Amino acid sequence: MQQSLESTHGSQGSAQVEEGGVALTRDEALVGRVLSDRYLIGERIARGGMASVFRATDRRLDREVAVKVMHHGLGDDEQFTARFVREAKSAAKLNHRSVVSVFDQGKDGEVTYLVMEFVPGHTLRDVMREEAPMPPHRALELLEQVLVALSAAHAANIIHRDVKPENVLITPDGEVKVADFGLARAVSAATTATGGTLIGTVSYLAPEIVTNDGADARSDVYACGAMLYEMLTGLKPHSGESPIQVAYKHVHEDIGAPSEVRPGIPPYVDALVARATVRDRDQRSTDARVMLQQVRSVRHALDAGLVDDPDLVSDLRPGGRVADDDDAPTVSVPRAAFGASASASARTEAVSIPEATMQWSSRPDGAGPGTVSSDGGPPALVEGSDRPSGLHPLMSPTDYKTAKGGSKTSRRGRNLLIMAIVMALLAFGIGYYLSVGRYTDTPVLIGQSETVAKDNAEKLGFGFKVQKRSFSETAPLGAVIQTDPGPGDKILPGATINADISKGPDRVQIPKDLKGMTLAAATEALAEIDLKVDPEQKSVFDENVAKDRVVGATNYTVKDQLKRGSTVVLAVSKGRKPIKVKDYRDTPLAEAKAGLEDVGFKVSSSEVFSVKIDEGNVVSQTPNDGTQFRGDTITLTVSKGPEQVKVPDVVGEKRDDAEKILEKAGFKVQALSLGGGNFTVRGQNPGGGTKKSKGSTITISQVPFP
């Protein structure tokens, strides 16, 4: 991808910095840096004599942009920085789909930069390398789109000053965008102040820029003509061993006709190039809007298959309709002048007038043959002579006097001649009005809201109709994107202007039902709305989405409005996340329950009597190791402490029987006797009828307890 820069290298971009002991170029050191805490600089995609362009990410708006960084030294000039800011602000106001949008400008330390719309694709230079020399219809197709962008700029009084193939970007779908409006002006101001350096691509510089006479819209027209010449021939208009030689030729030599290099190019295409590149800018098309109309006229002639069109050639020739010597005896009269049924746009046919008669017409003194005076007055007298200056050079003053007072036959012939000339001029005037003169220029409505554009059109006497509504990345919602006829095109008064109204940016949303799809199905669903899928997916655990199914997008939400062509990073499920089970046996219930629930388990519990485990602690846990999943249930058995049992009354029982009774009830027995043997129990502690915990010791005695 190229972003509005020539591939020439300037010394300003070769500054080096040290990083980790390794010498890096300034451009290399910028990669990975974040400018103004916002723009993450990526790979360099273009480099020229004034700046380098990097692919970057706007971290605040999460979008891809192009960042143009001025070469070392330019940003140190305060005057340059101030002008750079002004030109950036001016360019940012230029809102048109054929113009690369300017988003931001700034300075971070020593880095002066401009943030622009990132345009994928290639430059016109790339196309010219592959296709030049181009057929005329292809070259004009590309140039027309360039002129559409320049027309919008010229209508806003913005001059490009550095129109060249490297500044013409072409998207993969063929859309043409022009970049770098005003940048050359900012840079030239800085360099001229310091060293008189000429800024701009010398192959396309208008003579007035070389001679420092100031640039205007006609300078951009010259550059377009030079580009057209190169597209048609495959050669630059002027060549030389150095840029100075080329610049000199722009000032002192005319650009030749493309047909001299490629025979077969129609004369009206040659005339278009000549009109755009004439060295005297007063004879050029006044701005891109006028040249755009001329290009469309030439394209119509090409589409009609015309090998030649003398009228169109005459219209396009520098200075307008100026006759050559060979054309002097001929006057063009429109067919429309000879009958009401003739079309107003019909081609003209020639009515010849004898050479001697035509040369009798008044001509400024010293003018060559065929140059007809426009003042329409009587022949002027040559100083020191009684012969009019416009007299045929072979006619003597005596002949003139004789002719002036000659016979009736001569006078009748002269009268007929005058009538013929008057009729011819009248016919020409009528034809001009029917074919051209009654037309006016289409107003510039591009960028205006639908309501404002309609009001402005109607105030000028035109109708206004919304022909269609289209998406636009640059035109705000409801604004006019383009009109038919276009700005500056010829249109009849009262005719209707058809408008294309912006629907705003073309945006799509991630489908809500993407969750649970297979990766292939999700990729297909996103492709249907022109969204790309990053080949590197993220694997995540998910409690609800089955393994190997899509969880969703990681870099956007279903509510986000995405530009078509955006890349979506998908998350694919690894299934439920396993959770390690901790053993909480002999731990207080509250602690065990909290620990298990914190990691996502559910807990159920029951109570049992326990002699070994303190009351309130966990006696058992199921499961008590391994892994489980979030939401699974862990069962806890909690101690109620030892069970309380009523102590049997064994007083009067034989020792052996008493022990059996007590042990059966869950007690331990301690017997106290004087002589041993199976004595009769006379004492018991605790006594019968009291409650004690199972496992407690009951003491029996041969004698009563006190």
Q: Give the residue numbers marked as catalytic.
A: 162
Cα–Cα distance measured from residue 103 to residue 107, given in angstroms and rounded to the nearest whole number: 14
**For the residues of 388-412, what is the DSSP string, one character each?**
BTTS-TT--HHHHHHHHT--HHHHH
The answer to whether 567 and 593 have CB atoms below 8 angstroms apart is no
Cα–Cα distance measured from residue 384 to residue 545, given in angstroms and rounded to the nearest whole number: 108
Q: What is the DSSP secondary structure assignment for residue 236, as one 8-state letter?
A: -
Cα–Cα distance measured from residue 106 to residue 269, given in angstroms and rounded to the nearest whole number: 44
Tokens of 516: 């649970």
Beta bridge partners of 636: 605, 621
Tokens of 329: 């005896």
Q: How many CA atoms lie within 13 A of 255 on its CB side?
A: 35
Cα of 430 vs its chain's centroid, Å = 48
Distances from the Cα of 58 to the Cα of 53, 77, 104, 179, angstroms: 15, 27, 11, 19
Q: What is the CA radius of gyration of the chain?
A: 48
**For the residues of 117-173, what is the DSSP string, one character each?**
E---SEEHHHHHHHHPSPPHHHHHHHHHHHHHHHHHHHHTT---S---GGGEEE-TT
| Secondary structure (3-state) at 2 | coil
Burial 428-454 (b: 16+ CB within 10 A, else e): bebbbebbeeebeebbbbbbbbbeebb
Cα–Cα distance measured from residue 19 to residue 352, given in angstroms and rounded to the nearest whole number: 81
Cα–Cα distance measured from residue 340 to residue 576, given in angstroms and rounded to the nearest whole number: 86
Which amino acid is located at 70 in the chain?
Answer: M
Tokens of 456: 């402005």
Which of 259, 271, 283, 353 minimizes the C-alpha distance to 310?
Answer: 271
Q: How far apart are the first and last CA of the chain?
A: 109
Q: What is the DSSP secondary structure assignment for residue 47, as one 8-state letter?
A: E
Which amino acid is located at 73 in the chain?
Answer: G
The answer to whether 51 and 71 have CB atoms below 8 angstroms apart is yes
The answer to whether 55 and 43 have CB atoms below 8 angstroms apart is yes
**For the residues of 522-583, what is the DSSP string, one character each?**
HHHHHHTTT-EE-SS-EEE--SSSPTTBEEEESS--TT--EETT-EE-EEEE--SPEEEPPP
Which amino acid is located at 10 in the chain?
Answer: G
Tokens of 452: 């404002």
Which ranges of 327-387 does DSSP label H, i.e. alpha helix?
Answer: 355-360
| Secondary structure (3-state) at 288 | helix
Q: Which long-range contacts (CB under 8 A, 24 or more apart) does 14-23 make?
A: 15/72
Strands annotated E in 166-216 = 168-170, 176-178
Beta bridge partners of 499: 466, 483
Residues in the chain, overall count: 706
The answer to whether 26 and 13 have CB atoms below 8 angstroms apart is yes
